A = this chain, B = another copy of it.
Amino acid sequence: MQYFPPALERLVEQFNKLPGIGSKTAQRLAFFVLSLPEEDAAAFAQAILDAKSSIACCPICQNLTEGDGPCAICRSPKRDAATVCVVADPKDVIAMERSREYGGLYHVLHGVISPMNHVGPDDLHIKSLVERVGSGGVQEVIMATNPDTEGEATAMYLSRLLKPFSVKVTRLAYGIPVGSHLEFADDATLMRALEGRREM
């Protein structure tokens, strides 16, 4: 039975397709869009179309960028081109940039190796990383994939793949997070923190 006008029903369906948005929330969002002024709703629709049409992957680091050329980070003369940080996801680049500590370049894999989800090395941007390192100029590759099983396995796989090239391959340090409590740290983390202890 149809309760909404078809056009509203279609909008609710579209919102319902978004991850984490159930049918009740989808209804609420659709009603909100209906209540927007005409130009705001048009701006929303346009933003979707613009994002889809103008955003592409940087040909060097595979991070998201606007237009055809390399991204702002790859183009920047201030960044250290000898260091490449390998991350799984464009969101991880943002996390790294937020720390304001890292001054090198990135390489975005767009996923991790995950046999369970049928993601193999060929589904990721691994070939372009190997070519990038192989073409010279890179001195250090920092593995910054997530510290979970799949992230670990991917980092391990890549470090073996990069072994033939005379390049230093490092991994982000494991340890207790700043501001946390020792009592809540899990065994594996504590073990790694102990292993990685440094002189003060």
> Taking beta carbons and an 8 Å cutoff, which residues of A are in contact with B?
1-8, 10-11, 13-14, 17-21, 25, 27-34, 36, 38, 41-52, 54-55, 64-66, 71-72, 90-91, 93-94, 97-98
Contact = CB atoms under 8 A, between A and B. Distances in A.
A46 B46 CA distance: 9
Contacts of A25: 20
Given A34-B52, A64-B4, A19 B29 contact: yes
B34 A51 contact: yes
Contacts of A41: 48-49, 51-52
Contact of A4 (B38, B42, B94): B94
How often does this chain occur in the complex, in copies? 2
A33 B19 contact: no
Given A14-B44, A25-B20, A93-B3, A51 B30 contact: yes
Residue from A6, A28, A45, A94 having most chain B Cβ neighbours under 10 A: A45
Given A3-B93, A25-B20, A52 B65 contact: no
A66 B6 contact: yes
A11 B18 CA distance: 14
Contact of A14 (B28, B43, B52, B66): B43
